[in-house]
Structure 1
Amino acid sequence: MLNPYTSPIERIWYYALRILCTLVLLFLVLPVLVIVPLSFNSGSFLVYPLQGFSLQWYQDFFNSAEWMRALKNSMIVAPAATLLAMGFGTLAAIGLTRGNFPGKALVMALVISPMVVPVVIVGVASYLFFAPLGLGNSYTSLILVHAVLGVPFVIITVSATLQGFNHNLVRAAASLGASPLTAFRRVTLPLIAPGVISGALFAFATSFDEVVVTLFLAGPEQATLPRQMFSGIRENLSPTIAAAATLLIGFSVVLLLVLEWLRGRSEKLRTAQ
């Protein structure tokens, strides 16, 4: 709120920034909101105005063998990749946070590089690596590469949680006779769990939405939901794609709500320490 002593210039900047933030928010949200009503359109084309309300395209989605296979593949690949990313990312974050060794900054840059390297380069490199091994069209290659893409998110969230971690708690557990594994399982892990779960959710969302790498590594039998949507756009632009997109939007909103809840829980745990 503006106080009575605010100058005219400050008032102009205040309202200008609010208008700019509103425009940016609309720019980000409107494309998402546009697709949702189209998924309930009774017409056969993705155009406005809507011809009527119908759940036909959701029915087509759940009755289609191709869409259900794609959804099943996504529910196989994403959880498996998330578990791998969560395990390796948590261990890497603990090692990088606790240890001081030559080249630490370089190692950190390497492990988070999948976030900044263009995904198409990752896809090409992964194909060239796995194809000679006979894993070009397999769940194995798809899960491994999706896990690599998710590891940086786990490292970042767990590292942020460890910044406020009280290591005296681990020393106290060791002084009471706890082994390193027991101290990690009973002391460290419960306190960093919000960061681990947050990173896992980011990794899951990354894997679930990934399409570029999947185009290089997945055959027709391994096609995930985003790839099926991409194929549908190229071959037959049906409102069923809008229904699938709306389901993904709803899923993403749920993830964001869970992440916000975990963030609040992490803040409470950090304050309690």
Structure 2
Amino acid sequence: MALPSYASPAERIWHYTYLVICVLIFLFLIAPILIVIPLSFNSEPYFTFTEKMLSLDPTGYSTRWYDLLLTFGMNAPEATRDSSWWADAWENAAWIRATKNSLIIGFFATILATALGTLAALGLSKSDMPWRRPIMAILISPMIVPIIITATGLFFFYSSIKISTWGIPYLGIILAHATLGIPFVIITVTATLSGFDHSLTRAAANLGANPRTTFFRVIMPLILPGVISGALFAFVTSFDEVVVVLFVGALDEQTIPRQMWNGIREQISPAILSVATILVIISVLLLATVELLRRRGEKLRGISPQ
């Protein structure tokens, strides 16, 4: 907001002081990202800025750590990069295998969390639903309870039902990540339903539409931006989660965060910084998508004139 021309000197001083405070807070929050990104291009195996990097010498920068993400764990990383080389990377490269696991787990956990969270939000949005507030508190508790407590509880629960013997790969992690993602879906869909005009559903019923038709033809198109936003938050939660994976994941269920954790414990390599940079880019793109969907949802509901 621009400062009005009639503002007093004290108001002008506070205005610019407020802007400086906001900039300092913003820099404090993104400082780790600003450090990680250039360090991922370090040509030396260090986690610090070298003299060549500080002097902007081109030889001090390299993409070798990004290349290591493709070659680490391969049988023949030095071979000619033909179709057989890429097949070797796809099957044996540790980071690619972790990426595939993260995508598989994130996809199914997001589908499950979105479906259950949307159904819960639809029920909680009804004013005549009994015990609505206690149920809401219970459903969003995985977002409030420390993750170590949730992981420990899931570990003992899975051990008691012997879920590892069911023969379904990734099942334990998918259910756990869906549990963590459901609160985000509930919150975003509930916020979307707060501005929903329920007279539309009554009008659809008066015109002869059954509940299923009303949901898919009237309700779902209007709340779809909120549903997609919740799904993106659930996917990011699954994609970045490491504590639960350490407790309930099998040895062959390495995700990207778990692979990063193992890399920090076993061998310190700037390849971890490369992965962190890629994850930051993905997170920024997803958050930008969420913001676009939020504005579209407001436009559909007539909240925003733009």
Normalization by structure 1: what TM-score? Answer: 0.95
Aligned to 2:211: 180
Is the partner of 1:244 in helix, strand or coil?
helix
Aligned to 2:61: 53
Residues 170 and 253 in structure 2, CA contact (< 8 A), matched pair in contact too: yes
Deviations 1:99-133 (A, max 9, x none): 42332110011101111110111110110110222
Q: Give the residue type in structure 1 aligned to 2:236.
A: A
Structure with greater helix percent: 1
Cα distance in 2 for partners of 1:9, 1:190 equals 49
- Confirm whether residue 199 of structure 1 aligns to residue 240 of structure 2: no
Aligned to 2:71: 63
Aligned to 2:105: 77
Q: Give the residue type in structure 2 aligned to 1:126.
A: L
Greater mean alpha carbon deviation, residues 68-77 or residues 49-58: 49-58
Q: Which has the higher contact order (CA 8 A, sep 6+)?
A: 1
Residues 136 and 217 in structure 1, CA contact (< 8 A), matched pair in contact too: no
How far has the Cα of 1:4 moved from its partner? 4.2
Residues 42 and 49 in structure 2, CA contact (< 8 A), matched pair in contact too: no
Superposition misfits of 4+ residues, deviation over 6 angstroms: none
Is the partner of 1:221 in helix, strand or coil?
coil
Identity across the alignment (%): 51
Change (3 A) 1:95 1:45: same
Deviations 1:231-265 (A, max 9, x none): 11111110110111111011001101111110111
Normalization by structure 2: what TM-score? Answer: 0.85
1:92 to 101, 107, 120: 120
1:225 to 256, 262, 281: 256
Counterparts of 1:162-177 in structure 2, within 5 Å, are: 162-177=193-208
Is the partner of 2:302 in helix, strand or coil?
helix
How far has the Cα of 1:20 moved from its partner? 1.2
Deviations 1:64-94 (A, max 9, x none): 3211111111011101100001000000000
- Confirm whether residue 101 of structure 1 aligns to residue 101 of structure 2: no
Change (3 A) 1:74 1:10: same
Deviations 1:145-202 (A, max 9, x none): 1001100111111111111111121122222221101110111111100000000000
Q: Give the residue type in structure 1 aligned to 2:298.
A: E
Greater mean alpha carbon deviation, residues 118-127 or residues 170-179: 170-179
Aligned to 2:276: 245
Aligned to 1:41: 42
- Confirm whether residue 260 of structure 1 aligns to residue 291 of structure 2: yes
Structure 1 alignment gaps of length 5 or more: none
Residues 127 and 136 in structure 1, CA contact (< 8 A), matched pair in contact too: no
Cα distance in 2 for partners of 1:89, 1:28 equals 30
Greater mean alpha carbon deviation, residues 131-140 or residues 244-253: 131-140
Deviations 1:11-60 (A, max 9, x none): 33222221111111001111012111111111111111236221111111
Residues 98 and 254 in structure 2, CA contact (< 8 A), matched pair in contact too: yes
- How many residues are paired up? 273
Aligned to 2:86: none
Say which one has the larger Rg: 2
- Confirm whether residue 270 of structure 1 aligns to residue 298 of structure 2: no
Structure 2 alignment gaps of length 5 or more: 54-58, 73-92
Is the partner of 1:30 in helix, strand or coil?
helix
